[in-house]
């Protein structure tokens, strides 16, 4: 279970308040959508959970362990169980697809061997299985930047799966894809959530996608939680609370 | 938008600026002594013409030459009796002769010299031979004669101001090339030196590049700014580095002595070379399992640490044994190799390099291990201890670390300047370091982390910028003193300059990589080194190759002139010939430089297109 308690992040210098006393809980196996305008703190929230960004104050409990107090070495052992999927895929474009996927194992393998690009046999097989699962096993030896956007995001998902995650943080995973591709990517995340029981925190822009895939929704506005509940509970009034009075529903 | 209006004040400003520019340029002319009059003076022009003509005739190819020298009398100042001397007709019998017309003339008057029966199409000087000193000849302006197809030439020469009643002489020495052309000694020397030049550039570039890569990571802000440690960790690590380096030198020295004594027996040497690597392999396999999902117990971790230490020591032993074996082999096979003896020489040098670099590598490795381990101890201390306990420990450790650092700095100053006042160079830094360290510990909260990464980054940048401002030629002068005149000094100077300038360029490339992949790899739980290898390195390969090529071009150019200060290569030969006014030889070297630089430029542009 993931439990966020009074999480606050202030970006220095400038003192921009990105997260303002955010608290919520995510039960194991839930598909939680995080919505809100650009700049509302969605990305900061997700990155605070695996401490890519150091929170200013507050606590994050993952399976009862307060991960905000861990030292870097201990944190790496937590990070390797948290997969992350990015809006711009964040693949290493000059490396092969296989290397990109294997990189998901870096937190587990012996650093000395991995520096020489040597991975255990089981990991190589695992990587091929993950590529098969996302349907691009034939692209394993291609350079990552030779793939289309949708294919690159699948590599990103395969990389996250290599971590044997209990939690996946997806930061607007479909925002730079067309609607058809967006659904195919969301289906993989749904599959992972349902079949493997992985908890998914996914920030999203489009409400139709939220309705279609999410179990529960959290909405942020200027760093504060302004809505928490089922997707179906977002009526016109709630919508205006989340997106502002001038916003209009299109989805 | 504001519209610019022409106000009188503005016009005045422009006028004053123009005036100031004029004054600055006028002063610049004065300072740089620009003087076109000098260029037009006849003296300068003659020497310029002479040099340009010599440069146009590089001394590359020479022939065997046949020579015909004919001497014929002439009178400078006609005899007082008015009788014109008879033309000698002895020469006519031989078929090759000179006809001088008139046979007598006043000093500084012109006479016409006509030659018959010489080699066709030969050339050579026509000179005056004074009667008083027949061993010497006097050059008479432009005096080169060329014969036509019949071996005939006509030149007009001005007699020198050497009047005499005795007959004096004019000698025509005509030469023609026979046989096949051959390279001159100059050409051979130039070839030797140009080969030296190219290899000088090659070694400087490879060595410099290899060392610049790790330094460039230290000088990249985006990699270093996230590195933070608690004070206790920094202080212990700062103590651990010098202690570890000293221990490393000591231990590798011991291993070296043992290895040398063992290697006196070749069989033991070979046995050592078989057993030690096998042990290293086995130990690393055991101590570094490929993948672990659970953290092993404490006892096993310590045992593995000990195993790795043994493996590293055995690794150094293996390297030293290899060095001993290669030097034995190279000495044994050198005579048998004949013209390929340089291969044995190379082997010998490699074994020497291995032997010299082992203590350095040992010091760095041991410094890193001890510094890193103590740093970890400090990290634990800062995390687990209570604030009241950590604070005094911080003060103590930080004071000791500060004292050590400034003591080492003071010792270096003492060694350099031989001040001989230990109260200033040893005790004062010791006290000041302790005071500053304690002050730092008192001012920072006990458990706060300090941006040590940024400090290291700043130090690295400062050192790079300082060294980069020293020209490679100046560095070469220092290295010539350190290792003697020759290409080795040039390699060291160019190599060092390559390190500092490439590290700067490289680090800028590291700073401009995409942050996304870096973030993604960090998120998988990879450690710092893994992040660099998997997220940074793939992104910087193309610019690194491109900058290395660029540096290679520079090094080829620099290596051609590093010889000016004794750094080896063709520059020394060029400077020597210029100083001896031997412009035809210098011309050969200039052509060689032009060809090599052009060829290397072309080569690197081809490679750039292919790989970048």
Q: What is the pLDDT of residues B513-524, one digit of tens each?
A: 999 999 999 999
Q: Which range, of A50-54, B52-56, B80-84, B426-430, averages the lowest pLDDT?
A: B80-84
What is the H or E stretch that residue A178 is in?
none
Decide if B281 is inside a domain. no
Q: What is the set of domains in chain A, with CATH numbers? A: 1-81+165-251 (3.40.50.300), 86-163 (no CATH)
Whether residues B605 and B467 fall in one domain: yes
Q: B85-126: per-residue pLDDT in tens?
A: 666 655 555 688 888 888 888 888 888 888 888 888 888 888
A34, exposed or middle or buried, with CB in 10 Å at 0-12, 13-18, 19+? buried
What distance in Å separates the CA atoms of residue A25 and residue A3, rounded to the nearest whole number?
4
Whether residues B200 and B99 fall in one domain: no
Interface probe for A, chosen from B520, B530, B531, B538 (most Cβ of A below 10 Å), is B520
Helices marked H in B61-184: 90-94
Decide if B344 is inside a domain. no
Orientation angle between helical segments B583-611 and B570-579, nearest 10 degrees: 150
Q: Helix (H, G, I), strand (E, B), or coil: what is residue A6?
A: strand
DSSP summary character for residue B183: E
pTM: 0.73
Whether residues B193 and B140 fall in one domain: no
Decide if B584 is inside a domain. yes
Angstroms from A197 CA to nearest CA on chain B? 19
Whether residues B470 and B589 fall in one domain: yes
Decide if B78 is inside a domain. yes
Among A84, A89, A110, select the one facing B523 at the smallest CB separation: A84
Whether residues B137 and B204 fall in one domain: no
Q: Helix (H, G, I), strand (E, B), or coil: what is residue B391?
A: helix
A244 or B464: which leads in pLDDT: B464
* CA dihedral of residues B582, B588, B589, B590 (deg, nearest 10): 100
The strand pair at A199-203 and A31-35 is best described as: parallel
Whether residues B149 and B219 fall in one domain: no
What distance in Å separates the CA atoms of residue B21 and residue B30, rounded to the nearest whole number?
14
CB A202 within 8 A of CB A31: yes
The number of residues making up chain B comes to 612
Task: Read off the pLDDT of each residue in A35-45 and give the average, rounded to a whole number.
Answer: 91
Q: Helix (H, G, I), strand (E, B), or coil: what is residue B148?
A: coil
pLDDT confidence of B1, banded at 50, 70, 90?
A: very low
What is the H or E stretch that residue B276 is in?
helix B266-287
Among A52, A115, A156, select the one facing B529 at the smallest CB separation: A115
Is B530–A114 a contact, with Cβ atoms under 8 angstroms apart? yes
Q: What is the CA radius of gyration of chain B?
A: 38
pLDDT confidence of A69, banded at 50, 70, 90?
A: confident
Decide if B424 is inside a domain. no
Is the minimum CB–CB distance between A176 and chain B shorter than 8 Å? no
Is B521–A84 a contact, with Cβ atoms under 8 angstroms apart? no
Q: Which range, of B77-81, B133-137, B449-453, B491-495, averages the lowest pLDDT?
A: B77-81
Residues of B in contact with A88 (CB under 8 A): 516
Decide if B402 is inside a domain. no
CATH code, domain with B564: 1.10.3720.10
Residues of A in contact with B214 (CB under 8 A): none
Q: For residue B23, give Cα distances in angstroms to B27, B33, B37, B381.
A: 6, 15, 22, 68
The residues, any chain, with a CB within 8 Å of residue B497's CB and separated by 6 or more, are B208, B467, B468, B470, B471, B472, B475, B558
Q: Given the structure tokens 């920094």, which residue do they identify?
A: B234
Q: So what's the pLDDT on residue B38?
A: 81
Range of the domain at B119: 65-181
Residue A21 phi/psi, 5° resolution?
A: 55, 55
Q: B549-571: per-residue pLDDT in tens?
A: 889 889 988 998 899 998 888 99
Whether residues B483 and B597 fall in one domain: yes
Q: Which of B181, B204, B238 corresponds to the end of one domain?
A: B181
Whether residues B120 and B193 fall in one domain: no
Q: Given the structure tokens 């710092």, which residue do they identify?
A: B528
Q: Which of B123, B151, B181 corresponds to the end of one domain?
A: B181
Whether residues B610 and B466 fall in one domain: yes
Number of domains composing chain B? 2
Orientation angle between helical segments B537-561 and B487-511, nearest 10 degrees: 150
Q: So what's the pLDDT on residue B84?
A: 61
pLDDT exceeds 80 at position A157: yes
CB B183 within 8 A of CB B425: no
Decide if B531 is inside a domain. yes
Interface probe for B, chosen from A90, A126, A157, A176 (most Cβ of B below 10 Å), is A90
Decide if B101 is inside a domain. yes
């Amino acid at each position: 279970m993931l439990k966020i308690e009074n999480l606050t992040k202030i970006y220095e210098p400038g003192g921009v308040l990105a997260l303002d006393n955010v608290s919520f809980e995510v039960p194991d196996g839930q598909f939680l959508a995080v919505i809100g305008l650009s700049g509302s703190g969605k990305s900061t929230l997700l990155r605070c959970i695996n401490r890519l960004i150091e929170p200013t104050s507050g606590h994050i409990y993952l399976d009862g362990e307060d991960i905000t107090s861990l030292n870097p070495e201990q944190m790496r052992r937590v990070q390797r169980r948290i997969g992350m999927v990015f809006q711009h895929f964040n693949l290493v474009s000059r490396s092969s697809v296989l290397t990109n996927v294997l990189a998901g194992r870096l937190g587990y393998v012996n650093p000395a061997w991995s520096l020489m690009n040597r991975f255990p046999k089981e990991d190589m097989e695992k990587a091929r299985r993950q590529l098969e699962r996302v349907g691009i096993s034939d692209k394993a030896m291609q350079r990552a930047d030779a793939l289309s956007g949708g294919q690159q995001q699948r590599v990103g998902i395969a990389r996250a799966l290599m971590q044997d995650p209990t939690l996946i943080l997806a930061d607007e995973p479909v925002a730079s894809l067309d609607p058809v591709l967006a659904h195919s990517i969301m289906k993989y995340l749904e599959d992972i959530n349902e079949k493997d029981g992985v908890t998914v925190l996914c920030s999203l822009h489009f409400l139709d996608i939220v309705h279609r895939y999410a179990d529960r929704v959290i909405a942020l506005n200027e760093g504060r939680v302004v809505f928490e509940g089922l997707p179906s509970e977002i009526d016109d009034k709630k919508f205006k609370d989340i997106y502002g009075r001038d916003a209009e529903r299109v989805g | 938008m504001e519209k610019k209006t022409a106000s009188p004040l503005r016009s005045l400003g422009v006028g004053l600026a123009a005036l100031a520019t004029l004054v600055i340029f006028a002063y610049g002319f004065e300072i740089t002594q620009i003087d076109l009059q000098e260029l037009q003076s006849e003296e300068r022009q003659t020497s310029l013409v002479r040099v340009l003509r010599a440069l146009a005739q590089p001394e590359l190819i020479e022939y065997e030459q046949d020579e015909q020298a004919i001497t014929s009398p002439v009178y400078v100042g006609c005899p007082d009796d008015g009788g014109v001397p008879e033309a000698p007709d002895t020469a006519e019998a031989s078929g090759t002769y000179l006809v001088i017309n008139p046979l007598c003339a006043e000093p500084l008057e012109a006479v016409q010299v006509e030659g018959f029966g010489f080699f066709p199409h030969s050339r050579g000087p026509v000179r005056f031979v004074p009667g008083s000193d027949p061993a010497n000849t006097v050059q008479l302006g432009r005096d080169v004669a060329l014969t036509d197809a019949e071996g005939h030439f006509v030149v007009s020469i001005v007699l020198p101001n050497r009047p005499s009643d005795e007959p004096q002489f004019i000698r025509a020495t005509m030469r023609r090339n026979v046989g096949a052309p051959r390279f001159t000694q100059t050409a051979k020397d130039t070839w030797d030196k140009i080969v030296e030049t190219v290899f000088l550039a090659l070694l400087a570039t490879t060595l410099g590049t290899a060392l610049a890569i790790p330094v460039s990571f230290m000088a990249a802000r985006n990699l270093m700014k996230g590195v933070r440690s608690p004070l206790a960790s920094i202080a212990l690590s700062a103590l651990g580095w010098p202690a570890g380096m000293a221990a490393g030198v000591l231990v590798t020295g011991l291993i070296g002595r043992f290895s040398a004594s063992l290697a006196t027996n070749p069989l033991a040497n070979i046995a050592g070379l078989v057993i030690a690597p096998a042990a290293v392999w086995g130990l690393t396999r055991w101590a570094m399992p490929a993948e672990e999902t659970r953290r092993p117990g404490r006892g096993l971790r310590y045992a593995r640490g000990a195993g790795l230490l043994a493996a590293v020591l055995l690794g150094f032993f293996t390297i030293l044994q290899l060095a001993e074996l290669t030097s034995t082999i190279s000495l044994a096979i050198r005579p048998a190799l004949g013209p390929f003896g340089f291969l044995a020489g190379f082997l010998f040098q490699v074994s020497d390099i291995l032997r010299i670099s082992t203590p350095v590598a040992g010091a760095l490795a041991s410094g890193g291990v001890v510094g890193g381990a103590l740093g970890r101890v400090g990290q634990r201390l800062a995390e687990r201890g209570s604030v009241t306990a950590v604070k005094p420990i911080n003060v103590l450790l930080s004071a000791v670390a500060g004292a050590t650092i400034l003591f080492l700095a003071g010792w270096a100053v003492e060694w350099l300047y031989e001040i001989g006042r230990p109260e200033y160079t040893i005790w004062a830094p010791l006290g000041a370091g302790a005071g500053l360290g304690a002050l730092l510990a008192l001012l920072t909260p006990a458990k706060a982390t300090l941006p040590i990464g940024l400090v290291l980054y700043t130090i690295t940048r400062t050192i790079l910028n300082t060294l980069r401002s020293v020209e490679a030629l100046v560095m070469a002068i220092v290295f010539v003193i350190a290792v003697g005149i020759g290409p080795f000094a040039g390699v060291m100077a160019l190599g060092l300059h390559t390190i500092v300038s490439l590290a700067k360029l490289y680090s800028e490339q590291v700073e401009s990589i995409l942050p996304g992949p870096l973030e993604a790899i960090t998120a998988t739980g990879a450690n710092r080194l893994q992040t660099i290898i998997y997220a940074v390195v793939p992104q910087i390969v193309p610019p690194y190759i491109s900058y290395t090529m660029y540096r290679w071009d520079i090094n080829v150019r620099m290596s051609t002139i590093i010889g000016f200060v004794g750094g080896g290569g063709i520059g020394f030969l060029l400077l020597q010939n210029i100083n001896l006014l031997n412009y035809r030889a210098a011309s050969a070297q200039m052509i060689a430089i032009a060809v090599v630089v052009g060829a290397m430029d072309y080569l690197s542009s081809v490679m750039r297109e292919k790989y970048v």
